[in-house]
């Protein structure tokens, strides 16, 4: 029904989605139809000058597309998403963080991360050390081999990012980063406000 109601460009994109080499379920096709149709409806719903109204949707789609692109590049170099993301976060934080903290950064639940950490530890890329302030806790650190792996990851990421960002100047990228920082700070402030108004149970 969605395909019949869609415009010609939407129908073409739906047919293309349906002819992918990987078979898709009916539910997947419905989700694709909704997303494609909405992407064409959105500009008609809001004036072209209403960039603020369109930002969230575009930003969300672009973020997912960016991650898929980076994952594909790293996968071609033999680096899977499940393993390289935790390593990069450990490098960014300097290591010495708990499994719960790392799971929050990676965006997965703790049980899923445990399996990944076991793999990384067997490969000699991380190590779990006893927390001196809490003998029951273990802190996760990169090994020297893990640091070398992160260097390889960053090299591959830089190559992929350079290809994607080649049409933007350094000044344009710096301005975007400033804007992203403002959004990040605002979201942090809103989260703190929400947490403050939640009543605590006695």
Say yes or no: 100 and 136 in one domain: yes
Which tens digits make up the pLDDT trace of 121-160? 999 999 999 887 776 788 999 999 999 999 999 998 999 9
Residue 57 belongs to some domain of the structure: no
Q: How many domains does the chain have?
A: 3
Higher pLDDT, 11 or 134: 134
- Mean pLDDT confidence for 36-47: 52
**Is 59 a member of any domain?**
no
> Quick check: 141 and 127 in contact, CB under 8 A?
yes
Domain that holds residue 10: 1-45
Tokens 């409806």: give the residue. 41
Measured between alpha carbons, how far is 67 from 63 in angstroms, rounded to an integer? Answer: 6
Share of the chain above pLDDT 90, in %: 41
Q: Kindly state whether residue 51 falls inside one of the protein's structural domains.
A: no
pLDDT at 1 (0 to 100): 44
CATH number of the domain bearing residue 92: 1.10.10.10
Decide if pLDDT at 45 tops 70.
Answer: no
């Amino acid at each position: 029904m969605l395909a019949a109601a869609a415009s010609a460009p939407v129908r073409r994109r739906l047919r293309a989605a349906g002819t992918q080499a990987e078979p898709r379920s009916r539910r997947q096709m419905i989700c694709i139809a909704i997303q494609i149709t909405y992407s064409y409806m959105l500009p008609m719903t809001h004036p072209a000058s209403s960039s603020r109204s369109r930002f969230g949707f575009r930003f969300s789609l672009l973020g997912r597309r960016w991650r898929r692109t980076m994952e594909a590049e790293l996968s071609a170099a033999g680096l899977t998403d499940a393993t390289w993301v935790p390593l990069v976060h450990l490098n960014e934080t300097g290591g010495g963080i708990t499994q719960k903290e790392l799971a929050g950064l990676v965006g997965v639940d703790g049980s899923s991360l445990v399996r990944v950490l076991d793999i990384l530890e067997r490969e000699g890329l991380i190590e779990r050390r006893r927390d001196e302030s809490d003998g029951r806790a273990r802190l996760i650190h990169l090994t020297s081999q893990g640091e070398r792996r992160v260097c390889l990851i960053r090299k591959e990421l830089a190559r992929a990012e350079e290809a994607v960002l080649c049409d933007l100047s350094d000044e344009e990228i710096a301005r975007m980063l400033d804007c992203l920082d403002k959004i990040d700070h605002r979201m942090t402030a809103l989260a703190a406000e929400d947490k403050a108004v939640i009543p605590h149970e006695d």
